[in-house]
Amino acid sequence: MTDNDSFSLVCDAELDASGLNCPLPLLKAKLELNRLPSGGVLKVIATDAGSQRDFRAFAQLAGHELLREEAEEGIYRYWLRKR
């Protein structure tokens, strides 16, 4: 991970899944990705620690690109590029 200040990425959509438990953050992200065009970037904010495993596996299985992930004080952020 790089320093937060050195990372900037234009997102086409942002999903705040804070407070939702597995599998809801991933399910909501899948719905949001369906609305984006190919190449679109979705930023997801979650508080469920299990989301780390879920988003890595989902990106790999679905063919999306997990551009970045961050974990800080129980808040998890993911940037996904739709295939």
Give the active site residues.
22
Count of beta carbons in the 10 Å neighbourhood of residue 60:
11
| HEC readout, 1-24 | CCCHHHCCCCCCEEEEECCCCCCH
Q: Retrieve residue 51's tokens.
A: 């989301």
